[in-house]
Protein backbone atom coordinates (compact mmCIF):
# COMPACT_ATOMS: atom_id res chain seq x y z
CA UNK A 1 0.00 0.00 0.00
CA UNK A 2 2.83 2.46 0.78
CA UNK A 3 4.28 1.69 -2.66
CA UNK A 4 1.01 2.94 -4.20
CA UNK A 5 1.13 6.07 -2.04
CA UNK A 6 4.67 6.75 -3.24
CA UNK A 7 3.55 6.45 -6.86
CA UNK A 8 0.61 8.79 -6.28
CA UNK A 9 2.85 11.37 -4.59
CA UNK A 10 5.41 11.15 -7.39
CA UNK A 11 2.69 11.56 -10.01
CA UNK A 12 1.26 14.56 -8.13
CA UNK A 13 4.73 16.15 -7.94
CA UNK A 14 5.33 15.62 -11.67
CA UNK A 15 1.93 17.08 -12.55
CA UNK A 16 2.38 20.17 -10.34
CA UNK A 17 5.90 20.74 -11.66
CA UNK A 18 4.66 20.30 -15.22
CA UNK A 19 1.86 22.84 -14.79
CA UNK A 20 4.24 25.38 -13.23
CA UNK A 21 6.82 24.89 -15.98
CA UNK A 22 4.15 25.17 -18.68
CA UNK A 23 2.85 28.44 -17.14
CA UNK A 24 6.37 29.89 -16.93
CA UNK A 25 6.96 28.94 -20.57
CA UNK A 26 3.75 30.73 -21.59
CA UNK A 27 4.83 33.84 -19.66
CA UNK A 28 8.25 33.70 -21.32
CA UNK A 29 6.73 33.57 -24.81
CA UNK A 30 3.96 36.10 -24.22
CA UNK A 31 5.85 38.68 -22.14
CA UNK A 32 7.78 40.01 -25.14
CA UNK A 33 4.45 41.39 -26.42
CA UNK A 34 3.18 42.73 -23.09
CA UNK A 35 2.74 46.46 -22.52
CA UNK A 36 4.81 48.14 -19.85
CA UNK A 37 4.31 50.69 -17.09
CA UNK A 38 6.68 52.40 -14.73
CA UNK A 39 7.17 50.76 -11.36
CA UNK A 40 9.43 51.16 -8.36
CA UNK A 41 11.75 48.58 -6.81
CA UNK A 42 10.91 47.62 -3.22
CA UNK A 43 13.29 44.66 -2.72
CA UNK A 44 16.36 43.66 -4.72
CA UNK A 45 18.75 41.25 -3.06
CA UNK A 46 20.58 37.96 -3.57
CA UNK A 47 19.13 35.07 -1.58
CA UNK A 48 20.81 31.74 -0.93
CA UNK A 49 18.89 28.69 -2.01
CA UNK A 50 20.08 25.64 -0.07
CA UNK A 51 19.86 22.43 -2.00
CA UNK A 52 19.15 20.58 1.26
CA UNK A 53 17.66 22.30 4.30
CA UNK A 54 19.66 19.98 6.58
CA UNK A 55 22.99 21.25 5.19
CA UNK A 56 25.16 23.40 7.42
CA UNK A 57 25.36 27.14 6.69
CA UNK A 58 28.70 26.85 4.88
CA UNK A 59 27.50 24.09 2.55
CA UNK A 60 27.15 24.40 -1.22
CA UNK A 61 24.07 26.28 -2.35
CA UNK A 62 22.78 28.31 -5.25
CA UNK A 63 21.90 31.98 -5.26
CA UNK A 64 18.78 33.57 -6.73
CA UNK A 65 17.78 37.19 -7.23
CA UNK A 66 14.89 38.12 -4.97
CA UNK A 67 12.87 41.09 -6.22
CA UNK A 68 9.67 42.87 -5.30
CA UNK A 69 8.31 45.91 -7.10
CA UNK A 70 5.14 48.00 -7.13
CA UNK A 71 3.34 49.16 -10.25
CA UNK A 72 -0.09 50.39 -11.20
CA UNK A 73 -2.34 49.44 -14.13
CA UNK A 74 -5.52 51.44 -14.76
CA UNK A 75 -5.33 52.91 -11.26
CA UNK A 76 -5.02 49.53 -9.55
CA UNK A 77 -1.81 48.96 -7.58
CA UNK A 78 0.01 45.62 -7.93
CA UNK A 79 3.13 44.09 -6.42
CA UNK A 80 5.30 41.81 -8.53
CA UNK A 81 8.09 39.43 -7.60
CA UNK A 82 9.32 38.00 -10.90
CA UNK A 83 12.50 39.17 -12.51
CA UNK A 84 11.77 36.96 -15.53
CA UNK A 85 9.54 34.01 -16.41
CA UNK A 86 12.17 31.43 -15.43
CA UNK A 87 14.27 32.24 -12.40
CA UNK A 88 18.02 31.85 -12.77
CA UNK A 89 20.27 30.16 -10.27
CA UNK A 90 23.75 31.52 -9.73
CA UNK A 91 26.85 29.84 -8.37
CA UNK A 92 27.82 32.82 -6.23
CA UNK A 93 26.33 35.79 -4.42
CA UNK A 94 28.34 38.08 -6.72
CA UNK A 95 26.70 36.60 -9.85
CA UNK A 96 23.25 37.16 -8.36
CA UNK A 97 24.18 40.74 -7.39
CA UNK A 98 25.39 41.40 -10.93
CA UNK A 99 22.03 40.28 -12.35
CA UNK A 100 20.24 42.58 -9.88
CA UNK A 101 22.50 45.60 -10.48
CA UNK A 102 20.06 47.31 -12.92
CA UNK A 103 17.26 47.01 -10.32
CA UNK A 104 18.37 48.75 -7.08
CA UNK A 105 15.82 49.43 -4.34
CA UNK A 106 14.02 52.72 -4.98
CA UNK A 107 14.79 52.76 -8.71
CA UNK A 108 12.10 53.39 -11.29
CA UNK A 109 11.82 50.33 -13.52
CA UNK A 110 9.89 49.23 -16.58
CA UNK A 111 7.37 46.55 -15.59
CA UNK A 112 5.91 44.33 -18.31
CA UNK A 113 2.44 43.04 -17.42
CA UNK A 114 -0.11 40.65 -18.88
CA UNK A 115 -2.98 42.84 -20.15
CA UNK A 116 -5.46 40.00 -19.45
CA UNK A 117 -4.08 39.52 -15.90
CA UNK A 118 -2.32 42.75 -14.84
CA UNK A 119 -1.20 41.12 -11.58
CA UNK A 120 1.14 38.91 -13.64
CA UNK A 121 4.35 40.75 -14.47
CA UNK A 122 8.08 40.53 -15.15
CA UNK A 123 10.96 43.00 -15.26
CA UNK A 124 12.81 41.16 -18.04
CA UNK A 125 10.48 39.90 -20.79
CA UNK A 126 11.19 36.84 -22.89
For 110-122, the pLDDT digits (tens) are 999 999 999 999 9
Residue 40 near residue 107 (C-beta atoms within 8 A): yes
Tens digits of residue pLDDT in 4-40? 877 777 777 666 666 656 666 677 777 889 999 999 9
pTM: 0.73
Per-residue pLDDT, 112: 97
Per-position b or e across 19-47, b if 16+ CB within 10 A of its CB: eeeeeeeebeebbeebebbebebeebebe
Amino acid sequence: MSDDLGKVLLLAFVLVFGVLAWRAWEVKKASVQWPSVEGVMLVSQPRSQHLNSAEPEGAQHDWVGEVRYRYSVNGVSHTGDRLRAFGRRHMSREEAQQELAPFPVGAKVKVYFDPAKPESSVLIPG
